[in-house]
Amino acid sequence: MKKSRLIWHISPVFCVVFITALFIITFYATHFFRTFYYNQLSDDLKIRAEFAEHQLNGMKLENSEQIDNLCKELFKRGGTRVTVILPEGRVIGDSEKNPATMEDHSERPEFKAAIKEGYGKSIRFSNTLTKNMMYVAMPVRQENKTIAVVRTSVPVEFINTTLGNLYNKILITGIIVAIGVIVLSWRIARNISFPIEQMKDAAQHFAAGDFERRVSPSNTYELDELSNALNQMAEKMSGKIDLITKDKNETQAVLKKMSHIEKVRRDFVANVSHELRTPITSIKGFVETLLEGAVKDPEQVERFLRIIARHSDRLDAIINDLLALSRLEEEGEKRKLFFHEQYIKPVLISAVEFAKIKAEAKKITLKIECDEKLKVKINSPLIEQAVLNLVDNAIKYSPENSNIQIEAEQKNDEVDINVTDNGCGIEEKHLPRIFERFYVVDKARSRKLGGTGLGLSIVKHILQVHSGSVTVESTPEKGCKFTIHLPIA
């Protein structure tokens, strides 16, 4: 069986996965915009029908000429066709045609739905105007009796034209991005495969007994570490043949470590990409909608801008949390943090003060129980952040008018800080993973409440730099109890 090179395993798979993901996103985006446009159009027709119904109130249906003139006047004002139909199906007013020449409308689906259910909507071909139209019909009632049906309609061709332009833009953008991804994936694959080929060549020399060969440094940290390990192995084996077995085991350990690091990196990049893509796609979609013409509608502009602002806030929260995690990992390794023996209660009070506004909005009571003299050696800003994250989570998932308990106590050689709520709780199967980055139990609910999926991971890292830990106990529908464990020594 002929074996292909590593670069041909990496690059095509990367491209196929990306293009497939792009296709799926494009499909759902186009479906969303088509539904969005049709809903907007039907809502607009409904408002115009309600306005026409209001104009008809007080008018006598026997005066069909006056009603027909009203329909034509409404068409001049808003460009929307208006038709008035009696309950038996006879047309007595229309914006574009002479009612006397129009056929019976009693079998029109929107008319029948308006009579039966109080509202009717349909998209169909109009024999009168010879074009596809969207119709919205509403009954006109007087003294709890339907005396007529008012119907508004507009052609839907312009929606198809707008969507066609949108599809073309998505296609062109997709092609450009796909080309860029192909080039990028090729370079990534090449950057990975070339150093490995060098290492393979060096390993063959080592196998032949030539321990003078050395592997060139790599620009990639993990591969550079591997090349250094191979070089170190060669140096040891050239001087001491009896250490061959030991060096072999060390090399295998380094290869295994590199594989684990690469898997963690891939998972992290995939999670970050997914979490950032959702708000970015939404922002792009609403901006394009504004550029396509929605900017002329002040109410729509305000609604779209509020949505864009909300997604921008989510992006900001994700980036801030990622920076916090990065700082924690770097500072934990370099020992740049300072720890002092401090009283716990002021730290708890400070954290609760930051969360008080959110709690008051849901009428949630925050209670603190802590001995005034309880002390422990900590970095107070970090512990305050950890407690705030736990309290903030408890507020998000607790019902209104409930209580959240924050208490600290000494147990043997550690101080425990408990944050207890009586919210929705967490199922047992999720508990082992809730401190992982971007892992959330209910993604839709978390995004709705403004979560980034990083809060609990930050808490875990804060406790790691304190040589402590965080645990959770939970019963679904009864609440959660998160416990911060801080060693006294």
Phi/psi region, residue 400 (left: phi>0; alpha: psi -120 to 50; beta: rest), is beta
Calpha distance 28→35 (Å, rounded): 11
Is residue 276 exposed (0-12), middle (13-18) or buried (19+ Cβ within 10 Å)? middle
449: Cβ contacts below 8 Å, ≥ 6 apart: 396, 397
Q: Are 61 and 4 in the same domain?
A: yes
Whether residue 228 is predicted with pLDDT greater than 70 in this model: the reply is yes
Q: Are 12 and 79 in the same domain?
A: yes
Whether residue 24 is predicted with pLDDT greater than 90 in this model: the reply is no
- Provide the CA 99 distance to its chain's centre, in angstroms: 52
Whether residue 153 is predicted with pLDDT greater than 80 in this model: the reply is yes
Q: What is the pLDDT of residue 364?
A: 93
The residue that leads in pLDDT, 303 or 152, is 152
Q: Are 243 and 351 in the same domain?
A: no
> Predicted confidence band at 464 (pLDDT cuts at 50, 70, 90)?
confident
Residue 408: inside a domain, yes or no? yes
Whether residue 406 is predicted with pLDDT greater than 90 in this model: the reply is yes
Residue 16: inside a domain, yes or no? yes
Residue 204: inside a domain, yes or no? no
Q: Are 77 and 122 in the same domain?
A: yes
Q: What is the pLDDT of residue 302?
A: 76
Residue 426: inside a domain, yes or no? yes
Q: Are 355 and 269 in the same domain?
A: no
Whether residue 428 is predicted with pLDDT greater than 60 in this model: the reply is yes
Flag the least confident range among 291-295, 302-306, 319-323.
Answer: 319-323
> 4: which 2 tokens?
């292909």
Q: Are 180 and 221 in the same domain?
A: no
The tens digit of pLDDT for each residue in 176-194 reads 877 887 777 777 767 766 7
Whether residue 444 is predicted with pLDDT greater than 60 in this model: the reply is no
Q: What is the pLDDT of residue 197?
A: 74
E strand residue ranges, 314-355: 340-343
> 300: which 2 tokens?
């729509």
Q: Are 448 and 415 in the same domain?
A: yes
Q: Are 367 and 269 in the same domain?
A: no
* Alpha helices (H) in 362-452, listed in sequence order: 380-396, 443-448
What value does the mean pLDDT of the chain take? Answer: 77
Identify the CATH number of the domain in which residue 62 sits: 3.30.450.20
Q: Are 364 and 468 in the same domain?
A: yes
- Three-state DSSP at 135 gives strand
Q: What is the pLDDT of residue 473?
A: 92
CB 150 within 8 A of CB 126: no
Q: Are 353 and 314 in the same domain?
A: no
**Host domain of residue 191:** 1-198
Q: Which of 298, 333, 368 is the last residue of a domain?
A: 333
Whether residue 405 is predicted with pLDDT greater than 80 in this model: the reply is yes
66: Cβ contacts below 8 Å, ≥ 6 apart: 59, 60
Whether residue 334 is predicted with pLDDT greater than 50 in this model: the reply is no
Q: What is the pLDDT of residue 324?
A: 58
- Provide the CA 33 distance to its chain's centre, in angstroms: 18
Q: Which of 145, 164, 198 is the last residue of a domain?
A: 198
Calpha distance 276→320 (Å, rounded): 13
The tens digit of pLDDT for each residue in 67-86 reads 888 888 888 887 788 989 99
Q: What angle do CA 66, 72, 73 make, to 5 degrees?
A: 85
Residue 213: inside a domain, yes or no? yes
The residue that leads in pLDDT, 193 or 367, is 367
Averaged pLDDT for residues 159-186: 78
Calpha distance 466→39 (Å, rounded): 54
Burial 277-314 (b: 16+ CB within 10 A, else e): eebeebbebbeebbeeebeeeeebeeebeeebeebeeb
Which backbone phi and psi does 414 adopt, to 5 degrees?
Answer: -145, 160
- Three-state DSSP at 400 gives coil
Identify the CATH number of the domain in which residue 381 sits: 3.30.565.10
Q: Select the highest-mean-pLDDT range: 118-132, 151-165, 417-431.
A: 417-431
CB 449 within 8 A of CB 396: yes
Q: What is the pLDDT of residue 286?
A: 67
260 vs 95, 199, 425, 473, CA distance in Å? 71, 19, 32, 30
Q: Are 26 and 175 in the same domain?
A: yes
Residue 144 DSSP one-character state: S
Averaged pLDDT for residues 264-287: 59
Number of domains in the chain: 3
Which value, in Å, is the radius of gyration of the alpha carbons in the chain? Answer: 34
Q: Which of 300, 333, 366 is the last residue of a domain?
A: 333
Identify the CATH number of the domain in which residue 319 sits: 1.10.287.130
> Predicted confidence band at 333 (pLDDT cuts at 50, 70, 90)?
very low
> Predicted confidence band at 165 (pLDDT cuts at 50, 70, 90)?
confident
Q: What is the pLDDT of residue 429?
A: 85
Residue 147 DSSP one-character state: E
Residue 433: inside a domain, yes or no? yes
Whether residue 351 is predicted with pLDDT greater than 80 in this model: the reply is yes
Averaged pLDDT for residues 155-181: 78
Would you say the pTM of this structure is higher than 0.75? no
Q: Are 143 and 23 in the same domain?
A: yes
Residue 480: inside a domain, yes or no? yes
Residue 203: inside a domain, yes or no? no
- Three-state DSSP at 438 gives coil
